[in-house]
C-alpha cells in the first residue's frame, strides 16, 4: 500500500501552519482561513542551482573585498512610473504591483513592457490569465504593436524558468502570481504554499541573473494583497494601484521600496489609448473648486519629493442623535477628532453637538502632519459659514495646546502654490526665516490656531 502523504492546515491569511484544523488562526486571529494542504516534497539539491543561469555560485567574502558595480537605472518614457520606483527600473529587482480588479494593472504593465523593449532589452510577458490572442488584442487597442516583446501564456514555473534562460530575458512580467504553480508543491494555484514558493523562485532568478521582474498580485476585500503577509516582505518594492474604476484617474503609490522613497505618488488618467500620466496633479485636484464655497481650504502636501495642492472639504451640521458623527475620507478619522477637540478647547468653537464630514478631493490619501491647519480652517469655515479666499492656502501642524508647529520643505510647498496663482500662504511662524520667498505671494506666519482663524476670515 502506498504511503499516504502528510498534510498540514495552512492559514490563507498569514501562512501559519498547524497539524490540525482550527476555526481561528492563533497567529493572526482570522476565522475560517485554515486550509488543508499537502506537505511539500523534499527538494533535490539542484533546485536552487537551476535558478542561476550563469552557473556561478556566491562565496563568502569580507566586506572590504566586495566590489560594487554601479548600474544605472533603466528609465521608461512614463515619468510617473519612474518617479514611484525611485528614478527608474533597477536591474535585479523584484516589484509587486497590487490593485482592485479592472483598475488597470495589466494595462500599465503592458505599456511598461513596450517602453522597456524600446530601451533595447529583451522583455518576456508571462500571462497566466489571458491567452496570447487576448494580450495581442489589448496591445492593438493600446497602439503598442511597434514593440515586439515576447508573450508566453504559461503557469508552470519550470517552463517559465526555461523560457527566461532561453530568451536571455532582461525584464520579466508575471501576470499574475496567484496563477503560477511550482511543480514540487502539491497544493492548488493561489494557495499560501504556491504563492510563497513561486515568489521565492522568482526572487532567486532576479538576484542571481540581474533580471528585473514585475509580478501582479490580487487583492482581498480589505484591499490588501492576497496571500501571506510575507509576500510583501520577500519582494524589493510594493506598489499599490488605487482609484475608482468608474472614474478615469488612477494613483500609483509605493508602500515599500528598497531603492527609493515610499512617499512618492504617480497620477494617471485612463483613456481609450491606455494610461496617460498627469504631469500636474495639483491642477487636477483643484479644477472643480467652487469660488466662495464654505468649508473649503487648500493644503500643499508633500508626496515624496513632489508638492501637491489638494482641496480639503468639511461639512459641519447640528447632530440629530445623541453622539455626534465624525466621518473622514482620504484622511485619518482619529486625526479629525483630535483637531476638532483642539478647536473646541483652544479656539472656542462649540463642536461637540455637531456632525462632521470631511474629505480630500480627487480621491487622494493625505497622511502627513502638515495638513492639520488646512483641516482646522475648513472645519471653522463650515461651522461659521464663512468662506476662505480662493487664493489662500494653509500649511502647518497643529499641536494639542493650539500652537502651529513647523513643517519640512516649506520653500517647495510655497513655491508650488505661487506657480498655481495663490496669493496668500498661511504657514507656521517658525518657518518664516532661512529661505527666499517667491514673488507674487504673501507669506503670513501664524503662531496659534485662533490667530490663523482670525486672520483667514478677516
Q: Are strands 94-99 and 237-242 parallel, antiparallel or unpaired?
A: parallel
> In the prediction, which pLDDT does 228 show?
58
> In the prediction, which pLDDT does 362 show?
78
pLDDT along the chain (458 residues), means of 10: 66 82 87 79 51 69 80 87 92 91 90 92 93 92 90 93 93 92 82 86 92 88 62 89 76 89 84 86 80 91 86 93 88 94 94 93 86 97 93 96 95 92 95 91 96 92
Are the C-beta atoms of residues 107 and 142 closer than 8 Å to each other? yes
CA distances from 48 to 39, 56, 180, 195 (A): 19, 12, 18, 17
> In the prediction, which pLDDT does 221 show?
60
Instruction: Say how far apart CA 133 and CA 22 lie, in whole Å.
Output: 44
> In the prediction, which pLDDT does 432 show?
93
Are the C-beta atoms of residues 97 and 216 closer than 8 Å to each other? yes
Instruction: Say how far apart CA 126 and CA 174 lie, in whole Å.
Output: 5
User: Of 75, 69, 77, nearest to 89 (Cα)?
Assistant: 75
Burial (0-12, 13-18, 19+ Cβ within 10 Å), 16: buried
User: Of 196, 208, 211, nearest to 126 (Cα)?
Assistant: 211
> In the prediction, which pLDDT does 260 show?
86
Question: E-assigned strands of 25-149?
Answer: 34-38, 94-99, 123-127
Q: DSSP class of residue 386?
A: -
CA distances from 97 to 143, 206, 254, 259 (A): 23, 16, 9, 16
Question: pTM of the entire structure?
Answer: 0.75
Q: DSSP class of residue 206?
A: H
Instruction: Say how far apart CA 25 and CA 192 lie, in whole Å.
Output: 14
> In the prediction, which pLDDT does 174 show?
95
Amino acid at each position: 500500500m502506498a504511503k499516504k502523504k502528510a498534510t498540514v492546515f495552512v492559514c490563507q491569511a498569514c501562512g501559519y501552519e498547524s497539524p490540525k484544523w482550527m476555526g481561528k488562526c492563533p497567529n493572526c486571529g482570522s476565522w475560517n482561513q485554515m486550509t488543508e494542504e499537502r506537505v511539500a516534497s523534499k527538494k533535490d539539491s539542484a533546485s536552487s542551482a537551476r535558478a542561476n543561469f550563469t552557473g556561478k555560485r556566491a562565496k563568502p567574502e569580507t566586506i572590504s573585498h566586495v566590489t560594487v558595480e554601479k548600474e544605472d537605472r533603466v528609465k521608461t518614457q512614463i515619468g510617473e512610473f519612474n518617479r514611484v520606483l525611485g528614478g527608474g527600473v533597477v536591474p535585479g529587482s523584484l516589484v509587486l504591483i497590487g490593485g482592485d480588479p479592472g483598475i488597470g494593472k495589466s494595462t500599465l504593465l503592458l505599456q511598461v513592457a513596450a517602453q522597456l523593449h524600446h530601451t533595447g532589452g529583451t522583455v518576456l510577458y508571462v500571462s497566466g490569465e489571458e491567452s496570447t490572442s487576448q494580450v495581442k488584442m489589448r496591445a492593438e487597442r493600446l497602439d503598442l504593436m511597434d514593440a515586439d516583446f515576447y508573450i508566453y501564456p504559461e503557469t508552470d514555473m519550470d517552463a517559465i524558468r526555461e523560457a527566461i534562460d532561453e530568451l536571455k530575458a532582461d525584464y520579466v512580467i508575471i501576470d499574475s502570481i496567484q496563477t503560477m504553480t511550482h511543480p514540487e508543491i502539491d497544493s492548488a494555484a493561489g494557495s499560501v504554499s504556491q504563492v510563497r514558493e513561486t515568489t521565492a523562485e522568482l526572487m532567486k532568478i532576479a538576484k542571481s541573473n540581474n533580471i528585473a521582474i514585475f509580478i501582479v498580485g490580487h487583492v482581498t476585500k480589505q484591499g490588501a494583497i492576497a496571500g501571506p503577509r510575507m509576500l510583501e516582505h520577500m519582494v524589493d518594492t510594493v506598489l499599490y494601484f488605487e482609484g475608482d474604476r468608474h472614474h478615469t484617474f488612477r494613483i500609483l503609490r509605493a508602500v515599500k521600496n528598497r531603492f527609493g522613497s515610499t512617499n512618492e505618488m504617480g497620477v494617471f488618467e485612463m483613456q481609450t489609448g491606455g494610461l496617460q500620466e498627469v504631469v500636474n496633479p495639483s491642477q487636477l485636484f483643484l479644477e472643480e473648486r467652487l469660488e466662495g464655497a464654505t468649508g473649503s481650504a487648500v493644503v500643499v502636501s508633500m508626496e515624496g519629493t513632489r508638492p501637491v495642492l489638494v482641496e480639503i472639504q468639511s461639512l459641519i451640521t447640528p447632530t440629530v442623535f445623541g453622539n455626534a458623527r465624525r466621518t473622514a475620507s482620504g484622511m485619518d478619522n482619529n486625526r479629525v477628532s483630535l483637531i476638532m477637540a483642539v478647536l473646541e478647547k483652544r479656539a472656542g468653537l462649540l463642536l461637540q453637538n455637531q456632525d462632521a464630514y470631511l474629505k480630500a478631493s480627487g480621491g487622494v490619501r493625505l497622511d502627513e502632519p502638515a495638513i492639520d491647519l488646512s483641516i482646522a480652517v475648513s472645519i471653522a469655515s463650515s461651522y461659521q459659514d464663512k468662506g476662505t479666499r480662493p487664493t489662500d492656502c494653509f500649511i502647518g501642524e497643529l499641536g494639542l495646546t493650539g500652537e502651529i508647529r513647523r513643517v519640512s520643505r516649506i520653500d517647495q510647498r510655497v513655491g508650488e502654490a505661487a506657480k498655481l496663482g495663490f496669493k496668500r500662504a498661511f504657514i507656521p511662524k517658525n518657518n518664516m526665516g532661512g529661505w527666499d520667498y517667491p514673488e507674487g505671494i504673501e507669506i503670513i506666519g501664524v503662531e496659534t490656531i485662533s490667530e490663523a482663524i482670525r486672520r483667514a476670515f478677516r
